[in-house]
């Protein structure tokens, strides 16, 4: 028998636990997928070392047994999972250094880029979405609508290269700006990535607000004499927020792949650049480690966002 005082907490706790468990399940699935996808080609990553003359056949044989490539696939899979549990991602084929260390060195610049870009996207996405959704007929709302459509459609690479051209033109017109842009470092890449990521958030908030604007509770609020600002902030935005939180987490997916492009465009060091060079070199332990990290970050943000949305909106706590 549950005492009445316990019930509301359980109603929140049980769905949260369920979500946590399913998060662990998807993470495991993602790790398995990373393992399978890298072996789908059936290629042997050590062969390219041999072909490039970077290693002798004896060294290759030693490397193969060290990497466990001479084992059958199921045994390799067990080795891989066991390594993950110990926090061991293997060693780079090219540098021979630990993958964990290699990734750790590049973590900070990417984290900095993703964090600033996330802040930009949330501020910009909220602003554009609210303006476009709350004033759909006004000039400001229409321009916000057009801007968010552009932000969703224009690829990050195009946006970034455009930003460099504009920044260069600005710097030529006002030379002091050049020093500022150079010292800014993260500013231009983060702005690029943030703008690109803001589009989806803005469009979701806009759609939610448009849907809410005709709702009876808003008409009722207006009839009670609730002011415009309070109606927007307290009544109209509230049901949209859980959706916005879920979307902000989806931004994590966008930022994960967006940093790959942004780092290439701006020639910035980071995990994305490391991923691209490792793919081109066929350095598969590094690729595998990076994808494992991405999958972990992604499933953790998804689970966190879902749980935050559940806390914000009681309707989401029912099992679907």
Partner 1 sequence: MTKRRFSVAVALAWVLVVVAAAAAAPLLTSHGVVQPVGHPLASASSGIPLGTDELGRDLWSRLLYGGRASLGASALAAALTVVLGGLAGLVAVVGGRWVDSTVLLVVNSALAIPGLLLALLLVAGLGPSLPTIVLAVGLGGAPGFARLARQAFLQGQTATYIAAAAALGAGRVRVALAHLLPNARPQLLPLAATYYAWSFLGTTTLTFLGLAGDPTHPEWGSMMNAGRLHLLDAPHLVFLPGAAIAMTILSVHALAGALARPRPRPSD
Q: Quick one: DSSP state of residue 155?
A: -
Site for partner 1 in 233-262 (CB under 8 A): 253-254, 256-257, 260-261
Least gap, CB of 317 to partner 1 (angstroms): 20
3-state secondary structure of 98: strand
The residue among 275 and 305 lying less far from partner 1, judged by its C-beta, is 275
Q: Is 294 in the site for partner 1 (CB under 8 A)?
A: yes
Q: Is 73 in the site for partner 1 (CB under 8 A)?
A: no
**Contact by Cβ (8 Å): 57, 50:** yes
Q: Count residues binding partner 1 (CB under 8 A).
A: 48
Binding mask 128-167 for partner 1 (x = CB under 8 A): ---------------------xx-xxxxxxx--xx-xx--
Q: Is 38 in the site for partner 1 (CB under 8 A)?
A: yes
Q: Is 287 in the site for partner 1 (CB under 8 A)?
A: yes
Least gap, CB of 3 to partner 1 (angstroms): 37
Cα–Cα distance between 96 and 80 in angstroms, integer? Answer: 18
Q: Quick one: DSSP state of residue 314?
A: G
Interface region with partner 1, contact rule CB under 8 A, candidates 10-18, 23-31, 111-119, 231-239: 23-31
Q: Is 193 in the site for partner 1 (CB under 8 A)?
A: no
Cα–Cα distance between 191 and 177 in angstroms, integer? Answer: 16
The values of phi and psi at residue 106, to 5°, are -95, 0
CB-count exposure of residue 300 (10 Å: 0-12, 13-18, 19+)? middle
Interface region with partner 1, contact rule CB under 8 A, candidates 8-16, 130-138, 213-221, 276-284: 276-284
Q: Is 27 in the site for partner 1 (CB under 8 A)?
A: yes
Q: Is 67 in the site for partner 1 (CB under 8 A)?
A: no
Please, where are the H alpha helices in 135-227?
139-153, 156-173, 176-184, 187-213, 216-223
In DSSP notation, 3-21 reads -TTTHHHHHHHHHHHHHHH
User: Of the candidates 30, 90, 16, 8, which has an alpha carbon nearest to the alpha carbon of residue 293?
Assistant: 30
Q: Is 114 in the site for partner 1 (CB under 8 A)?
A: no
| Among the listed residues 11, 26, 50, 226, the single contact to partner 1 using CB under 8 A | 26
The values of phi and psi at residue 68, to 5°, are 80, 20
Q: Give residues in contact with partner 1 (CB under 8 A).
A: 26-27, 29-30, 32-34, 37-41, 43, 149-150, 152-158, 161-162, 164-165, 168, 253-254, 256-257, 260-261, 264-265, 275-276, 278-280, 282, 284, 287, 291, 294-295, 298-299
């Amino acid at each position: 028998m549950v005492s009445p005082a316990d019930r509301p907490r359980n109603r929140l706790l049980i769905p949260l636990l369920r979500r946590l468990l399913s998060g662990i399940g998807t993470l495991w699935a993602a790790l398995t997928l990373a393992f399978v996808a890298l072996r789908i080609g059936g290629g042997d990553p050590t062969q390219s070392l041999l072909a490039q003359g970077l290693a002798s056949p004896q060294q290759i044989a030693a490397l193969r047994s060290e990497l466990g490539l001479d084992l059958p696939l199921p045994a390799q899979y067990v080795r891989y999972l066991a390594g993950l549990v110990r926090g061991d991602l293997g060693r780079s084929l090219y540098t021979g250094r630990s993958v964990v260390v290699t990734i750790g060195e590049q973590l900070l610049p990417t984290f900095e880029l993703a964090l600033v870009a996330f802040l930009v996207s949330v501020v910009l996405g909220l602003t554009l979405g609210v303006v476009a959704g709350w004033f759909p007929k006004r000039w400001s709302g229409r321009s916000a609508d057009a801007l968010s459509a552009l932000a969703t459609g224009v690829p990050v690479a195009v946006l970034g290269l455009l930003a460099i051209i504009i920044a260069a033109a600005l710097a030529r017109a006002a030379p002091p700006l050049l020093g500022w842009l150079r010292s800014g470092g993260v500013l231009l890449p983060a702005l690029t990535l943030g703008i690109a990521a803001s589009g989806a958030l803005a469009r979701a908030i806009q759609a939610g607000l448009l849907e809410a604007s005709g709702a009876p509770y808003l008409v009722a609020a207006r009839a009670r004499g609730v002011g415009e600002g309070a109606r927007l902030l307290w009544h109209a935005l509230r049901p949209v927020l859980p959706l916005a939180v879920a979307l902000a987490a989806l931004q994590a997916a966008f930022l994960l792949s967006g940093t790959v492009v942004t780092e290439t465009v701006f020639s910035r060091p980071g995990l994305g650049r490391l991923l691209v060079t490792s793919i081109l070199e066929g350095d598969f332990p590094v690729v595998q480690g990076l994808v494992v990290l991405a999958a972990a970050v992604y499933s953790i943000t998804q689970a966190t966002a879902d749980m935050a949305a559940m806390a914000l909106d009681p309707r989401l706590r029912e099992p679907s």
